[in-house]
A and B are shown apart, each in its own frame.
Chain A
Amino acid sequence: EVQLLESGGGLVQPGGSLRLSCAASGFTFISYAMSWVRQAPGKGLEWVSVISGSGGTTYYADSVKGRLTISRDNSKNTLYLQMNSLRAEDTAIYYCAKTNSGYGPFDSWGQGTLVTVSS
């Protein structure tokens, strides 16, 4: 059974930093791309970033480019999202999602971790 467990969320001031983690199990981690998808309170889903299975290729939404960095440690079956220069509009639940191929879909999701950017 695929399991994805996010951690690292919390309250951070505008301009601050945070690192999210997503521990994966139940599948061959290195064989799959992984994504971060976020959902602002009461709003819809927004794709944030995706990383290839090897970690060598990454893509970002324009809204986070240059501020958020996706990475993975295949020896630890863990996905990361380094979040810098955070803004109020980054406030959201952040989900990690197993991504079946470069074309999607997001076939398994974690339970999410809440990031709140506020002074």
Chain B
Amino acid sequence: QSALTQPPSASGSPGQSVTISCTGTSSDVGGYNFVSWYQQHPGKAPKLLIYEVNKRPSGVPDRFSGSKSGNTASLTVSGLQAEDDADYYCSSYAGSNNRYVFGAGTKVTVL
């Protein structure tokens, strides 16, 4: 069982927006502003999309945005495009013992 809870699936039509939630506890998501999001296409390595809750690495389109409220973080993909069809994972720093935890992933389908 993953430490962070994500919905298994989400979908939207091209041009629409989809928001994925990531729920943890005060020991991880709620306790630190070190939430990150990763995109993974089938057979490929994960790619960093968002770090420190809402920061985008260079090269990541501003259609991807992150936020956090309490123990729940969220990733919003605006203006869905066909290439956004992928798995999305959240992750959080979880302190000196458990260190880093992931969610089980959300499959986003572009209809």
Query: Which residues in A have some Cβ–Cβ distance to B below 8 Å?
Result: 35, 37, 44-47, 50, 59, 61-62, 95, 100, 103-112
CB <8 Å contact, A45 and B105: yes
Query: Is chain A's interface secondary structure helix, strand, loop, or mixed overall?
Result: strand
CB <8 Å contact, B100 and A47: yes
CB <8 Å contact, A106 and B38: yes
Report how far A24 CA is from B61 CA in the complex, Å: 26
Instruction: Looking at the assembled complex, report how far the CB atom of B43 sits from the nearest CB atom of chain A, in whole angstroms.
Output: 10
User: B64 on the interface (CB 8 Å rule)?
Assistant: no
CB <8 Å contact, B48 and A47: no
CB <8 Å contact, A44 and B102: yes
CB <8 Å contact, B38 and A100: no
Query: Which residues in B have some Cβ–Cβ distance to A below 8 Å?
Result: 2, 32, 34, 36, 38, 45-48, 51-52, 57, 89, 91, 93, 96, 98-105
Tell whether A104 pairs with B104 under 8 Å between CB atoms, given A109-B45, A109-B46. Answer: no
CB <8 Å contact, A104 and B102: no
Report how far A47 CA is from B105 CA in the complex, Å: 14
CB <8 Å contact, B47 and A47: no
Task: Given contacts A61-B99, A111-B45, list 18 more A-B pairs with CB under 8 A.
Answer: A35-B100, A44-B89, A44-B102, A44-B104, A44-B105, A45-B38, A45-B89, A45-B91, A47-B91, A47-B99, A47-B101, A59-B96, A95-B45, A95-B46, A104-B93, A106-B48, A106-B91, A107-B51
CB <8 Å contact, B36 and A105: yes
Give every chain A residue within 8 A of B34 (Cβ-Cβ): 103-105
CB <8 Å contact, B48 and A44: no
Give every chain B residue within 8 A of A107 (Cβ-Cβ): 48, 51, 57
Give every chain A residue within 8 A of B105 (Cβ-Cβ): 44-45
